[in-house]
Amino acid sequence: MKQLVTKEEVASAIERLTTSGQKPTLAAIHATLGRGSMTTLVRLKAELEQSPVEQPEAPEVLDHFRSIWTTAKSAGRSERDEELNRSAENLAAVLTDNDKLESAHAGITARLAEVEAQRDSLVAQLAESNHAATAARAAGETHASALAAALTRINQLTGVAVETQDKLQQSINSLRDDNRELLITHATLTAKLEAAYQAEAEQRTQARRSYDTSERLRSDLLEVSARLRVAETDAAKAQSHKPESRSSRRSRPVPNPNAENPTTDQAGQIAPTAKVNRRKP
């Protein structure tokens, strides 16, 4: 009995791929697990993506992060799902039409074989009638009445055979025209099917790009949240110091610009601190 893939196994595979620097695509997850259908992997990966993500602790940043993350994720998934659904529906319709045309082509081919067999049978009967007429003429005057009757019958069979042959030939020509049209239609639908496969591949590529964009946005938001927390912590430390008297401020030594204190750049972001190498006297 085949063992089903669980959500925990998919999450573990995604974590291993991410740790090793690889993108957790469906093909990479399937290769890592070594089993599981693509339908199951798509469903479990979607459930993991919908699970809550660890967010920053600041309320304003948290609300802003949730809003942007929800919008980006919803937009990417909605566009991907709509394109994939439309592609699947178009592909199913083309496949259905293709199956119908192949079935109709098989029926017409069988009918054409039957008509050609009937024509061959009638031609053989006409040849046999001509042979009987020749034998009757050679029989002599004694068989004149029989010969006249045979000739009459031959003429009747010949007229019926010629008429039937003309009708069969017309039917054959008509069936050949229908078969030609079906071949053209089949070629057209085959081209549409290939175009549908190509469109589906392009839509999957677009969906992957949208997902990558949303992941980069999430990473940028996490980085901004971390910087905001550091700034809030520094601000809280600055406010906790009591104001000093004027005399003490006069006697206070001038701060060293190379001291290990965080500074901010022109954009208001925290710049890395600089360390001074002090040599021993």
The answer to whether residues 116 and 195 belong to one domain is yes
| CATH code assigned at 209 | 1.10.287
Q: What is the pLDDT of residue 225?
A: 92
Q: Could you give the angle at the alpha carbon of 196 between the alpha carbons of 192 and 198, nearest 5°? A: 115
Backbone angles phi, psi at 57, to 5 degrees: -85, -25
At residue 248, what is the residue type?
S
Question: Does residue 182 form part of some domain?
Answer: yes
- % of the chain residues with pLDDT over 70: 68
Q: What is the pLDDT of residue 104?
A: 78
- Is 207 a residue whose pLDDT tops 70? yes
- Look at the block and give the residue holding tokens 């042979």: 131
The answer to whether residues 104 and 203 belong to one domain is yes
Strand-pair category, 263-264 with 270-271 = antiparallel
Helix (H) or strand (E) holding 265: none
Position 278 confidence tier, pLDDT thresholds 50, 70, 90: very low
Q: What is the pLDDT of residue 62?
A: 59
The answer to whether residues 66 and 33 belong to one domain is no
Question: Does residue 105 form part of some domain?
Answer: yes
What totals of helices (H) and strands (E) does the chain contain, helices first? 6, 2
- Model confidence pTM above 0.75: no
Query: Alpha-carbon distance 244 to 250, whole Å?
Result: 10
Query: pLDDT tens for residues 70-101?
Result: 664 565 566 566 656 765 676 666 567 766 77
The answer to whether residues 170 and 41 belong to one domain is no
**Cα torsion at 52, 54, 58, 60 (round to 10°)?**
-40
Would you list the DSSP string of 176-191? HHHHHHHHHHHHHHHH
The domain tally of the chain equals 2
Backbone angles phi, psi at 144, to 5 degrees: -65, -45
The answer to whether residues 37 and 99 belong to one domain is no
Question: Does residue 235 form part of some domain?
Answer: no
Question: Does residue 161 form part of some domain?
Answer: yes
In this structure, the chain runs to a length of 281
72: domain range?
59-229
Q: Running DSSP on this structure, what letter comes out for residue 275?
A: -
The answer to whether residues 114 and 32 belong to one domain is no
Range with the poorest average pLDDT among 44-53, 67-76, 193-202, 230-239? 67-76
The answer to whether residues 64 and 92 belong to one domain is yes
Query: pLDDT tens for residues 164-192?
Result: 989 989 989 999 999 898 899 989 988 99
Q: What is the pLDDT of residue 74?
A: 62
- Is 217 a residue whose pLDDT tops 90? yes
Question: Does residue 247 form part of some domain?
Answer: no
The whole-chain average pLDDT of the chain stands at: 76
Domain boundary (51, 71, 90) is at 51
The answer to whether residues 44 and 71 belong to one domain is no
Position 107 confidence tier, pLDDT thresholds 50, 70, 90: confident
Query: pLDDT tens for residues 236-265?
Result: 888 887 555 454 455 455 455 444 444 444
Q: What is the pLDDT of residue 150?
A: 84
The answer to whether residues 1 and 29 belong to one domain is yes
Question: Does residue 148 form part of some domain?
Answer: yes
Question: Does residue 23 form part of some domain?
Answer: yes
Tokens of 207: 């969906």
The answer to whether residues 116 and 13 belong to one domain is no
Domain boundary (229, 258, 276) is at 229
In three-state secondary structure terms, 42 is: helix
The answer to whether residues 199 and 94 belong to one domain is yes
Question: Does residue 138 form part of some domain?
Answer: yes
Domain boundary (214, 229, 244) is at 229
Query: Alpha-carbon distance 114 to 175, whole Å?
Result: 12
Q: How far is CA 5 from CA 16, 31, 180, in A?
A: 16, 13, 50
The answer to whether residues 26 and 95 belong to one domain is no
Position 219 confidence tier, pLDDT thresholds 50, 70, 90: very high
Q: What is the pLDDT of residue 90?
A: 63
Across 47-56, 84-93, 125-134, the highest mean pLDDT is recorded for 125-134
